[in-house]
Amino acid sequence: MDRPKFDRIETALSYLTDLVSFAETEVDNYLLERGNGFAKIKELGEILEEFQLKDDATSLVSIFPYMSFWRAVRKDSDKEITKIPELALEMRLFRYELANVPFSNTERLEQLRFVLYDFFIEFLSEAKIRRTA
């Protein structure tokens, strides 16, 4: 029997926080020539694909923490992301970056590592807020 969608582990903030941390470690290990496995990067890409925002979405009400994703994307960016279709585009672009690991050049992988760290911080912050609420 399938679990209800609201009970899915891959949308739990604690799971996403750990997953992003492990994905960042995979990129870091690759850059340091310590490893070449990217199972967590692939899993993160698959989750983002499953919860990809539609360009015509009118709200972010969902079991996926889109607001945390939005804050992470806007961090250290010169882009003004103010509308849902813009966030949907950023999700597609980020999924593209994940799909190209490890084929990206070193500079892009280093940038990806920082973006993954931003996601980690945002998911962790959201999890703390929810625990205290």
Q: What is the pLDDT of residue 98?
A: 95
Q: Considering the entire predicted model, what is its pTM? A: 0.85
At residue 65, the 3 state secondary structure works out as: coil
* Contact of 48 with 94, CB cutoff 8 Å: yes
Model pLDDT, residue 2: 47
Could you report the per-residue pLDDT of 70-120, keeping only the tens digit for each?
898 888 778 788 889 999 999 999 999 999 998 878 999 999 999 999 999
What is the C-alpha to C-alpha distance for residues 119 and 40, in angstroms, rounded to an integer?
A: 14
> Which three-class secondary structure state does DSSP give residue 56?
coil
pLDDT at 14 over 80: yes
Token digits for 26? 């995979």
Nearest to 112 by CA among 17, 16, 20, 19: 20
